[in-house]
Amino acid sequence: MTNINELLQGFHRFRLKNFEPNRELFNQLAMKGQTPRTLLIGCSDSRVDPAILTDSAPGALFVIRNVANLIPPCETGGRYHGTSAAVEYAVCNLEVDNIIVLGHSRCGG
């Protein structure tokens, strides 16, 4: 997809093909919140989509994506730690059972 019209058309297709048939699941996720059992740390590469690769239903994965699926070391001192915060949230709040680091070939990171 290269322009905004293609993105909008894709969103409309998603609503018809994915949202409508699974409306109850999406409503349940919205009302009760998420309870994923797996934290998946993957690359931001546009060629690799963890949910598609694992054929996971909405709500099944808590996904962190960044360049080269790296987790920077946690440091003190007032720095921003978005990735570390997401890992901590998944482990401490969501209480995930599994942590998967998903790498791929020809990564540019």
Catalytic residue among 47, 55, 79, 106: 47
For 18-59, what is each residue's pLDDT tens digit?
999 999 999 999 999 999 999 999 999 888 899 999 999 999
CA distance 97 to 81: 22
Q: Nearest Cα to 100, choosing from 58, 52, 50?
A: 50
45 is catalytic: yes
CATH (residue range 34-109):
3.40.1050.10
107 is catalytic: yes
**DSSP assignment, residue 69?**
G
104 is catalytic: yes
Q: Give the predicted TM-score (pTM) of the model.
A: 0.84
For 66-109, what is each residue's pLDDT tens digit?
888 888 877 777 676 788 889 999 999 999 999 999 988 887 76
**Residues counted in the chain:** 109
Query: What amino acid occupies position 90?
Result: A
Task: Give me the residue spans of the domains in the chain.
Answer: 1-33, 34-109
CA distance 42 to 48: 8
Q: Nearest Cα to 104, choosing from 36, 49, 37?
A: 49
